[in-house]
């Protein structure tokens, strides 16, 4: 007996959440119902699809084989939905986007760039819903934690589509209040006499975020895994920290420190599942997102 799409949808949710409760939250049904649907699918194929343990639900060999086909079915249904909505047709490119997109992003971009860019896209497409998941970690697109991700370095593994968005700049900064109380900073050596704000060293999830090593800083006095917390610490006069140039217009009391002798350039990349490149609706959204981010980055950095 072949599997119905409703059963495959439940299978995909469990495979991505690795638990019945997590899948139930996604599907908005109780975990017991999810368990019964999985059992029905396993009975239909006469083989276990998951290996159950106290750690959760992991795919069996048979489940791994089914996953490939279930994701293809999901992709085909999305393409069909786009076509029936008219969003897969060349003549429909001027029509409004509908549905929902979820974007995963590091919290600097999520706080200071994405809100205004996505707000404009939403104003132009009133039937579109946009979700921003701001987390200081790497997102798993295979589990569909997000439809797309802003990354600070291009991934080297997985079936992913990667597009460079733009470079961006960062500088050391401190509040006017702090500089008035603690005196000028004229060399990198002077930093040793100042409180430093930065990442918790063992929670830096991407080597591109290891800013302070390049400044020769060995001790971080005030540390957080959130760049927004760091920026607010600097804003509150906590010390000197590396701040995105695009965040500075939102923090007018901050001043760049050692601007001529220390600066960093990093890049944003848009990462998607490779199969999603066939989705015209998502391609259109990504085009608007990339164009908006490039424009907003340039505007904010010119003001910093």
Flag whether pLDDT at 94 surpasses 60: no
Residues 272, 260 within the same domain: no
Structure tokens at 282: 């998502």
As a whole number of Å, the CA-based R_g of the chain is 23
Residue 234 lies in a domain: yes
Q: How many domains does the chain have?
A: 3
Cα 245 to Cα 235: distance, rounded to the nearest angstrom: 14
- Domain carrying residue 144: 96-166+267-303
3-state secondary structure of 304: coil
**Tens digits of per-residue pLDDT, 115-134?**
999 999 999 999 999 999 98
Instruction: Check whether residue 272 and residue 239 sit in a common domain.
Output: no
DSSP 112-126: HTHHHHHHHHHHH-T
Tell me the average pLDDT of the chain.
Answer: 87
91 found inside a domain: no
Residues 255 and 285 in one domain: no
Classify the C-alpha dihedral 55-57-59-60 as positive or negative: positive
Q: Give the percent of the chain with pLDDT over 70.
A: 90
Same domain, 253 and 172: yes
pLDDT digits (tens, 9 = 90+) for 219-276: 899 999 999 999 999 999 999 999 999 999 999 999 999 999 999 999 999 999 887 7
% the chain with pLDDT above 90: 51
213 and 287 housed in the same domain: no
């Amino acid at each position: 007996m072949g599997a119905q799409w409703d059963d495959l949808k439940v299978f995909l949710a469990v495979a991505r959440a690795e638990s019945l409760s997590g899948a139930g939250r996604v599907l908005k049904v109780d975990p017991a119902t999810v368990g019964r649907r999985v059992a029905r699918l396993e009975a239909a194929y006469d083989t276990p699809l998951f290996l159950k343990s106290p750690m959760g639900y992991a795919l069996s060999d048979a489940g791994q084989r089914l996953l490939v086909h279930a994701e293809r079915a999901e992709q085909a249904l999305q393409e069909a939905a786009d076509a029936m909505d008219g969003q897969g047709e060349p003549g429909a490119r001027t029509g409004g986007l509908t549905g929902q997109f979820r974007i995963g992003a590091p919290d600097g971009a999520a706080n200071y760039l994405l809100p205004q860019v996505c707000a404009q896209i939403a104003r132009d497409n009133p039937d579109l819903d946009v979700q921003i998941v701001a987390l200081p970690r790497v997102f798993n697109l295979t589990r569909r934690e997000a439809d797309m991700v802003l990354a600070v370095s291009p991934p080297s593994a997985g079936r992913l589509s990667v597009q460079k968005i733009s470079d961006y700049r960062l500088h050391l900064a401190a509040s006017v209040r702090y500089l008035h109380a603690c005196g000028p900073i004229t060399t990198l050596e002077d930093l040793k006499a100042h409180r430093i704000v930065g990442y918790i060293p063992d929670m830096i999830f991407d080597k591109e975020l290891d800013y302070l090593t390049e400044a020769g800083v060995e001790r971080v006095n005030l540390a957080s895994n959130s760049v927004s917390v760091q920026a607010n610490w600097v804003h509150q006069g906590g010390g000197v920290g590396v701040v995105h140039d695009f965040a500075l217009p939102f923090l007018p009391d901050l001043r760049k420190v050692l601007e001529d002798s220390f600066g960093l350039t990093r890049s944003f990349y848009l990462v998607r599942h490779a199969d999603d490149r066939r989705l015209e609706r998502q391609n259109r959204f990504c085009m608007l997102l990339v164009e908006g981010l490039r424009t907003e980055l340039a505007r904010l950095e010119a003001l910093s």
